[in-house]
Amino acid sequence: FLGAGGGNDIQWCFSQVKGAVDDDVAEADIISTVEFNHSGELLATGDKGGRVVIFQQEQENKTQSHSRGEYNVYSTFQSHEPEFDYLKSLEIEEKINKIRWLPQKNAAQFLLSTNDKTIKLWKISERDKRPEGYNLKEEDGRYRDPTTVTTLRVPVFRPMDLMVEASPRRIFANAHTYHINSISINSDYETYLSADDLRINLWHLEITDRSFSILLPLFYIVDIKPANMEELTEVITAAEFHPNSCSTFVYSSSKGTIRLCDMRASALCDRHSKLFEEPEDPSNRSFFSEIISSISDVKFSHSGRYMMTRDYLSVKIWDLNMENRPVETYQVHEYLRSKLCSLYENDCIFDKFECCWNGSDRQVEFLSLIVMTGSYNNFFRMFDRNTKRDITLEASRENNKPRTVLKPRKVCASGKRKKDEISVDSLDFNKKILHTAWHPKENIIAVATTNNLYIFQDKMN
C-alpha cells in the first residue's frame, strides 16, 4: 500500500538499470526526460542527442510473483536533429526537453516530444504480421513476369518478428521564439499547450491517420513579453493543464509565483484567475532568494485539488483554494542553503529539478500522498504527506541486488559526521537527479541519473 497508514511504508528495491556503465559520459547520452505512459506499460526517455528510447514492461509472469515485469527496450528513434538558426547564428539543440504520452485510443501509441523549438507527434505502432503470397511480386519484392502467372491466389498475413515503428505524424514548429520548457495535454485530449520563457501556445492535436502535416498553433494563450525587453524580469518556467478542467491551466515563473488561468475568461489569458505566491521569509533572505525561489516544475495532483511546485531547495504543496501560501513545504536539501554562493558560481543553482506524485493506487484512486524529487550525489527524496516522514535514497550501481531493500541515506549538514552519513562537502554536484517518474498504477519508479535509468520497485511480500 502506498504508506497511507498502517505503517506500511514502501520498501524500495533495485530492479534494473539501463545505460552505459562507463564513468565517462557521452554528452548525447545524457537523459533529459523520463515519462511513463498512461497504463505504465511503456516508459519513455529522451536524451540530449535527440533520441527517444521506449521501454516496455514484460507481462507479469504468474510464476514469478515476486517481481513485476521487467522493462526492455521496445523502440528507439531519433526524434529531433540539431538545427541551425541562420538568423541568430546559433545552434538549436536537439535535446529532448519533454515527452508526454497521449492516452491510447487504438493499437498504436502516440507521444509528443519536444526540443527547444519544435514539438513532434510520434506514432509508435507494432507490426507483427506481413502479407505474403502476392501474385505479381516475389517474396523478396522483385516483380514477377506477368506471363508466368498461371494461377491466382489471395495474399495472406503471416506472422513475423515484431517490428516497432515510430513515425512522425505532426510537426508543430515555428511557434516559439524562446525555449520550450513544457508541454501539457488537455483533459479533452484534443488540445495541448506548449510553453516557452515568455509565451504559451495552444495547439490542436487532431490525431488522424492522414499523412503528416505541419500545423500552426491556435493562438497564444499567455504572452508575458514586455514591449521593451530590457524591462524583462520574470519568465515562465513551467505550465500544466488541470487534470479535469479542460479550460484551466497553471504556469509558474522564475520569481516563484504560480498563476492559474481560465481560458473561458478570455482567449488571451493575460489576467490570471489566481496568483499563488508565498511571502518571503525575512530570516532567510539572501542575495539568492529570487534565484532559489524560481520554480522548476509544477504538477497537479491526481484529483486536481492540489498542485506541487519544485524550487531549488524545496517542494511545496498548494491547495488551489489558498493563494497566499502553500499548505505544505518539504525541504529537499536545506543543507545547501549555506552554499548558495558556490552553487551560484558553478551554475548548479540553475539546475531544474522535477518532481512527481505517486501513482494512483488501484485501491485508492486519485490520492496523491507521496512526493518524489531528485537531488545531488545521485540522491533522490520522497516525502509522505500522511506520516510526514521522508527518506533519501541513492541511485547507484552499488545497490545492485534485486529484491534487496535500498538503504536510506543521510547527509550530515554540520558537526560531527556519523557513520554512514555523507558530509555536504563530499557531495558530488555533477551527479544530479533531475528527472524521476512514478508508474501510474504501481509502486514502480524510474529515476534518471546523468546517463543511466534506474528502475526501482517496492518489495512485494
Partner 1 sequence: MLGKGGKRKFDEHEDGLEGKVVSPTDGPSKVSYTLQRQTIFNISLMKLYNHRPLTEPSLQKTVLINNMLRRIQEELKQEGSLRPMFVAASQPADPLSDNFREAQPAFSHLASPPLLPADLVSTMPLESCLTPASLLEDDTFCTSPAVQHDGPTKPPPPALQPVKDSFSSALDEIEELCPAPTSAEAVAAESAAGDSKAQPSESNIHKPEGLPESRTAESKLMDPLPGNFEITASTGFLTDLTLDDILFADIDTSMYDFDPCTSATGAASKMAPVSADELLKTLAPYSSQPVTPNQPFKMDLTELDHIMEVLVGS
Among 16, 39, 40, 179, indicate the residue that binds partner 1 (CB under 8 A): 179
When the beta carbons of 75 and 181 are compared against partner 1, the nearer one is: 181
Q: What grid cell was written down for 220? A: 497564444
Q: How far apart are CA 49 and CA 52, in angstroms?
A: 9
Nearest residue (CB) to partner 1, 55 versus 312: 312
281 is a site residue for partner 1 (CB under 8 A): no
Question: Cβ distance 241 to 222 under 8 Å?
Answer: no
The answer to whether the beta carbons of residues 253 and 235 sit under 8 Å apart is yes
Stretch that binds partner 1, among 126-134, 244-252, 267-275, 283-291 (CB under 8 A): 283-291
Which residue, among 110, 136, 139, 145, has the nearest Cα to 124 in the 3D structure?
Answer: 110
Residue choice 288, 390, 417, 450 for contact with partner 1 (CB under 8 A): 288
Least CB distance to partner 1 at residue 294 (A): 7
Among 61, 72, 174, 342, binds partner 1 (CB under 8 A): 342
174 binds partner 1 (CB under 8 A): no
Residue 178 in contact with partner 1, rule: CB under 8 A: yes
Contacts for 156 with CB less than 8 Å, ≥ 6 apart: 131, 132, 133
Exactly one of 166, 250, 298, 340 binds partner 1 (CB under 8 A); that residue is 340
Is residue 350 within the footprint of partner 1 (CB under 8 A)?
Answer: yes
**Residue type present at position 436:** T
Only one of the segments 2-10, 61-69, 262-270, 335-343 lies at the binding site for partner 1 (rule: CB under 8 A); that segment is 335-343
Among positions 254, 273, 387, 450, the unique one binding partner 1 when judged by CB under 8 A: 254
Query: Which residues in 64-123 contact partner 1 (CB under 8 A)?
Result: 85, 88, 90-93, 116
Say what the alpha-carbon torsion angle 442, 446, 447, 452 is, to the nearest 10 degrees: 160
Is residue 235 packed enough to be buried (19+ CB in 10 Å), middle (13-18) or exposed (0-12)? middle
Nearer to partner 1, 341 or 364 (CB): 341
Grid coordinates given for 57: 514492461
- Rounded to whole angstroms, how far apart are CA atoms 171 and 174? 10
Phi/psi at 58 (nearest 5 deg)? -65, 150
Q: Does 337 sit near partner 1 (CB under 8 A)?
A: yes
> Is residue 209 within the footprint of partner 1 (CB under 8 A)?
no
270: cell is 493575460
Query: Is residue 424 within the footprint of partner 1 (CB under 8 A)?
Result: yes
Q: Is 149 left (phi over 0), alpha (psi -120 to 50) or beta?
A: beta
Q: Does 28 bind partner 1 (CB under 8 A)?
A: no
Nearer to partner 1, 88 or 416 (CB): 88
CA torsion, ordered 213, 219, 224, 226, to nearest 10 deg: 90
CB of 377 to partner 1, least distance (A): 14
* Residue 210 binds to partner 1 (criterion: CB under 8 A): no
- Closest approach of partner 1 to the CB of residue 450, in Å: 19
What DSSP letter does each residue of 381-398 carry, written as one string? Answer: EEEETTT--EEEEE--GG
Residue 35 phi, psi (nearest 5): -155, 125
Interface stretch with partner 1, choices 133-141, 240-248, 317-325, 334-342 (CB under 8 A): 334-342
Size of residue set near partner 1 by CB under 8 A? 42
Residue among 86 and 143 whose Cβ is closer to partner 1? 86
Per CB under 8 A, contacts with partner 1 among 216-235 are 229-230, 232-235
Backbone angles phi, psi at 424, to 5 degrees: -55, -40
The C-alpha atoms of residue 189 and residue 192 are separated, in whole angstroms, by 8
Burial tier of 233 (Cβ tally within 10 Å: 0-12, 13-18, 19+): exposed
Which residue's CB is nearer to partner 1, number 232 or number 460? 232
Amino acid at 458: D
Say which DSSP state 432 is in.
B
When asked if residue 344 is in the footprint of partner 1 (CB under 8 A), the reply is yes
- Piece of the chain touching partner 1 by CB under 8 A; list 42-50, 158-166, 284-292, 390-398: 284-292
CB of residue 278 to partner 1, shortest distance in Å: 18
Among 59, 147, 283, 324, contact with partner 1 (rule: CB under 8 A): 283
* Residues found near partner 1 in the complex (CB under 8 A): 85, 88, 90-93, 116, 178-179, 197-198, 229-230, 232-235, 237, 254, 283-288, 290-291, 294, 337-347, 350, 424-425
